[in-house]
Structure 1
């Protein structure tokens, strides 16, 4: 299956890439993240999507810090980055536990006043999941960037840009990462357990409305994986601002962050 977007056009500005740091949770698991400093006590925790890890968020993270809006941490989900080889057959609340462990670690290491949770693609869906969970009470606001939503929300393109291929039972999926671009550091299959631990609950919209959750959302009108126009319908009245970015696709919405950057302004 051919990808609808060309990864040759996607470059990570390595001169701005923060080094990978690791920490050990109280459960003795080793997890990783990248820290982008700024002269601010605000902190943005920004999660990546499937296939890659925190590296590809470098442009957006450095733009946020460069504007002085906040410090930024880009975590690697469990089974990515330093824990790439770990099993992704995890408990339904494991990623929430990992986030809580990360917050404890960061508060011990850095000066943090207000926190924003953000994410792109599957990470955007995870940010929405946390927004309606008990863990979400620790955040001032949430930012979802081209968020991945379950099929029941009817917000996915027909072939997901050739990027995601569902397993036969449609519980797990593989990532169609071109062989020419593989380095051995990609995660190319996601178990049903991992996906269930990352995606939003079916009653997400009711919970967002009931909680009056401070949420901003952006999707590109040329996104090959998610339907940006459908996101505008789903989150109308729930997200402020709610932006359909003209001319941006699933990757350029974060690799060309001039529009997405406005969502992080204090």
Structure 2
């Protein structure tokens, strides 16, 4: 009996040491800059980006967003499109897409999600679920009389799916997922797509397990480093804390979000996406329990989905 107690105590001590080591030393490595993500933005004219507007979230934080009123030859159609950028990004990352939607008659709001751009300390969130709270707070603080579509790109696409299948899905009647990140182990992930983000896997696993027991003391520790070059790092978000990484994306079970979504869900991706296996989106979502219309834009890669004229036109059609 005494020996069993000693053995149990030793095992417990080893587990504590393993958790401590994973948390202390299991953070992410530096990620080498990824040209296919960084380079395209150097050619974008950001001179017409509107000045940031602010709204107040429930915790009192002042969060930023960009307003693109309906313009162009087409009459306003009464629908608002709310844009959610990808991982590391900010509202102005969606500038070309926002302009295209505004010219097609949509009122457009491009958000700086909390922890990005001008919305709070970059790379951090206070709790998992805070970003969903922020989107709800935006919809209340900046009301719109007509219907609204939530459009998310990459990790923002995963987040849009999370909203579509969550308790606040009624905030939008349509969801458009742009090359969404579903999960690190989803069939749509291409081998080698970890070049965009270096993951501190030991720390991520340890903090995930602790979070399930309600222990969140180390949630501000970084678990992701993004493959930004030096110029991009000054404007975008170089790393994510555990809490932000857990809050911004599809959540633990993208299949449940697919099954639970009651609104109109559509997906657009580039056929030449270097990070995700775009032709597999339709089968993966169908296997999760729902047939989702998928548009593949020929010859367009991941970042090109928000920049190339053919891709912008495809997204505009999906939003109608």
Q: Give the TM-score normalised by the residue count of structure 2.
A: 0.75
Assess if the C-alpha contact under 8 Å between 2:155 and 2:181 holds in 1.
yes
Assess if the C-alpha contact under 8 Å between 1:84 and 1:185 holds in 2.
no
Is 1:94 equivalent to 2:127 in the alignment?
no
Assess if the C-alpha contact under 8 Å between 1:4 and 1:161 holds in 2.
no
Q: Distance in 2 between matches of 1:170 and 1:208?
A: 29
Point out where structure 2 has 5 or more consecutive residues left out of the alignment: 1-31, 71-75, 205-222
What is the SS of the residue equivalent to 2:266? strand
Aligned residue number for residue 46 of structure 2: 14
Is 1:167 equivalent to 2:219 in the alignment?
no
More helix by share: 2
Aligned residue number for residue 58 of structure 1: 95
Aligned residue number for residue 44 of structure 1: 81
Deviation of 1:199 after TM superposition, in Å, equals: 2.4
| Correspondence 1:234-249 to 2 at 5 A | 234-236=284-286, 238=290, 240-249=292-301
RMSD: 2.2
Worse-superposed segment, 91-100 or 150-159 = 150-159
Q: Distance in 2 between matches of 1:211 and 1:155?
A: 20
Assess if the C-alpha contact under 8 Å between 2:123 and 2:237 holds in 1.
no
Aligned residue number for residue 75 of structure 1: 111
Q: Distance in 2 between matches of 1:185 and 1:6?
A: 14
| Correspondence 1:83-122 to 2 at 5 A | 83-85=119-121, 88-107=124-143, 111-122=144-155
Deviation of 1:231 after TM superposition, in Å, equals: 1.6
Aligned residue number for residue 30 of structure 1: 62
What is the SS of the residue equivalent to 1:9? helix
Worse-superposed segment, 238-247 or 111-120 = 238-247
Q: Distance in 1 between matches of 2:233 and 2:251?
A: 34
What is the SS of the residue equivalent to 2:152? strand
Assess if the C-alpha contact under 8 Å between 1:217 and 1:241 holds in 2.
yes
Deviation of 1:89 after TM superposition, in Å, equals: 4.4
Q: Distance in 2 between matches of 1:263 and 1:205?
A: 22
Assess if the C-alpha contact under 8 Å between 2:189 and 2:277 holds in 1.
yes
Point out where structure 1 has 5 or more consecutive residues left out of the alignment: none
Aligned residues: 260
Assess if the C-alpha contact under 8 Å between 2:169 and 2:261 holds in 1.
no
Deviation of 1:49 after TM superposition, in Å, equals: 0.7
Deviation of 1:3 after TM superposition, in Å, equals: 2.1
Aligned residue number for residue 214 of structure 1: 264
Worse-superposed segment, 37-46 or 163-172 = 163-172
Deviation of 1:241 after TM superposition, in Å, equals: 2.6
Query: Which digits, 9 at most, give the CA deviation of each residue in 1:119-147, with x for residues without a partner?
Result: 10111111000001111112111000011
Q: 2:254 aligns with which of 182, 186, 204?
A: 204
